[in-house]
Amino acid sequence: MEEQSKGKIVRIAGPVVTAEGISPRMYDVVLVGDLSLMGEVIKLVGDRSIIQVYEDTSGIRPGEPVSNTGEPLQVELGPGLLSSIYDGVQRPLPVLKEKEGDFVSRGLTAPGLDRTKKWQFTPKVKKGDELQGGMVVGEVPEGNLVHRVLLPPKVSGRVRSISEGAFTVEEPLGELESGHVLRMMQKWSVRTSRPYTEKLLPDIPLVTGQRVLDTLFPLAKGGTAAIPGGFGTGKTVTSQQLSKWSDAHIVVYVGCGERGNEMTEVLTSFPELEDPRTGKPLMGRTVLIANTSNMPVAAREASVYTGITIAEYYRDMGYDVSLMADSTSRWAEAMREISSRLEEMPGEEGYPAYLASRLSEFYERCGRVKTLSGPTGSISVIGAVSPSGGDFSEPVTQNTLRIVKVFWALDSKLRERRHFPAINWLTSYSLYNPILEEWYRKNVAEDWGAVRLWAMETLQKESELQEIVQLVGSDALPEQEQLTLEVARMIREFFLQQSAYHPIDTYSPLKRQYEYMSAIQRYFDLAKKAVSLEVPLEKIKSLKCRTELGKLKFEESIDEDLKGMAGQMELEFSELGV
């Protein structure tokens, strides 16, 4: 077997290396060259193996040795994942930095989980219990939550022994009668999705606290969303807002081929952020996978699979996980580069023909499911897309839109007008609205759907009127339509604009969102009545309640003030004779 697993390099084309004499299986991990660089078999042609190498191949020559590990690319799953910062193949970057400094040598590696740290384990099963794959064996405190130690999905049997106490991830916790040793750590192949009992309907919203998202274009727990946008439109800030405020228990943030300075900002700001629910550091419920644009492209291709596998592991414990992939365009570019080195037939814009199926495969691994251990868990995937020149007709954006159910379109024109989040309300959509309607009706307000529909219709009407305004000016419009323009402006400026950096405005609970939009609708109803009674529009616009409505979102007393707003409006409009 050892004879078979040794071979030599015969050809090198950037990150793609061809070897002879190792007889591997597809997707086996191999060690390439004298430096033992990590690679993965992606194509087999006769006795030749084509390998994508996860590190820079400069200086490697034909004739150097190649050895097959006989295992696929796997991640280590267990306590210690939260608060970690990994590269695309789960090497802990802080550990590598300690060993080597800021510039890490090729071939250097370290285990994904700390082998020395002891975790306090409390068993949840006893001797003689019959266990099935995926069941909870015990619990360990980790970060801001309880880490449930799971039996690997393909293992089952009766408990022979189990212990309580402090253990490292590799030390035995007990044993099954079949001889299987129970440990906190398990390994899982990144390209294989973890099993579950049943996929459920995504009928609970992922509450983000961002008004434009929650009210107009909601995402369900277990749902998929895309944020395409050109340079500087706010993809990263939006992803960070979702990481901080969404009501997911765990956040997995995959910086896939992003610029180094953006990734540095994430790595320096996240450890300082506070989890609004627990008051502990936000990193206590976050896993960061950093793969910058100057890192080897093959590792970028692996990083999204590493991220989704870690997300599936926490989903299997019964947690709601939110995965940010920033950005899937860079992942697709890595696929394009490797495909061209393999001399495959290019598809549209040079992307490989299998681009759509790879994107589908990735997004299909999300969802709200009933886990093997019983409870419900979910993975919501939010993929940022960076179309070249902001062109949404390019293949990555188009193929992503065929798969995802929510489209948050970032707009360069809104960015130029300093409207943030720069999400265009006319081109964005959410296909979850009909499914989530019932939840909103029961948990927020009976008429949530009606209020939302009124807001969307008003914004749509404004768009239609703008064409006339550009030709003849707004003064030529009837007063009723001038009022529609004014109220649409209120929805845009008061409600949809939201400051990520203001302590009050950064997060808006659902109840507050409903009250705020209802107050704007109430103002519109009263103003429409006033216009029909021939009250001048200028008088209506100069009412104190309108100005206060705009300032409310920055006030600490916003919830109290919104309750009193209806009465104040009635009073002010009654003075106009309404």
Instruction: State the pLDDT at residue 5.
Output: 66
Q: What does CATH list as the number for 114-184?
A: 2.40.50.100
**Domain range 448-575, CATH architecture:** Orthogonal Bundle (1.10)
Instruction: State the pLDDT at residue 6.
Output: 85
Q: Give DSSP secondary structure letters for 80-116.
A: T-TT-EE-TTS-BHHHHHHHH-SSPPTT----SS-SS
Q: Helices 355-364 and 395-403, interaxial angle, to 10°?
A: 40
Q: Give DSSP secondary structure letters for 6-39.
A: EEEEEEEETTEEEEES----TTEEEEETTTTEEE
126 to 157, 162, 379: CA distances (angstroms): 13, 7, 31
Q: Burial, 52: exposed, middle or buried (Cβ in 10 Å; 0-12, 13-18, 19+)? A: buried
- Secondary structure (3-state) at 5: coil
**How crowded is the C-beta side of 140, counted as CA atoms within 13 Å?**
26
Question: Tokens at residue 313, please?
Answer: 């592991």
| CATH among 1.10.10.10, 2.40.30.20, 3.30.70.360, 1.20.1260.10 for 6-72 | 2.40.30.20
Going edge to edge, which strands form the sheet with 174-176? Answer: 130-131, 157-162, 174-176, 181-182
- Where are the domain boundaries for CATH 3.40.50.300 in the chain? 226-430
- Where are the domain boundaries for CATH 2.40.30.20 in the chain? 6-72
- Where are the domain boundaries for CATH 1.10.1140.10 in the chain? 448-575
Distance CA 245, CA 507 (A): 7
Residue ranges for the chain with pLDDT beneath 50: 1-4
Neighbours of 574 (CB within 10 A): 10
Instruction: State the pLDDT at residue 295.
Output: 76
- Where are the domain boundaries for CATH 2.40.50.100 in the chain? 114-184
- Secondary structure (3-state) at 297: helix
Q: pTM for the whole thing? A: 0.93
Task: Please determine, looking at this structure, whether the domain spanning 226-430 carries the CATH number 3.20.20.70.
Answer: no
b/e string for 246-275 if b means 16 or more Cβ within 10 A?
bebbbbbbbbbbbeeebbeebbeebeeeeb
DSSP 8-state assignment for residue 216: I
Distance CA 150, CA 102 (A): 36
Q: Which residues pair with 122 in a beta bridge?
A: 139
Radius of gyration of the chain (CA): 27
How far is the first Cα of the chain from the last one, in angstroms, to the nearest whole number?
91
Question: Tokens at residue 398, please?
Answer: 């188009």
Instruction: State the pLDDT at residue 66.
Output: 96
Q: Provide, for the chain, the percentages of residues in helix, strand and coil under a 3-state DSSP scheme, each rounded to the nearest 5.
A: 40, 25, 35
- Which residue is listed with tokens 């939260």? 82
Task: Give me the amino acid identity at 302.
Answer: A
b/e string for 365-377 if b means 16 or more Cβ within 10 A?
bbbbbebbbeebb
Distance CA 342, CA 39 (A): 15
Does residue 54 contact residue 38 with C-beta atoms inside 8 Å? Answer: yes
Distance CA 146, CA 44 (A): 43
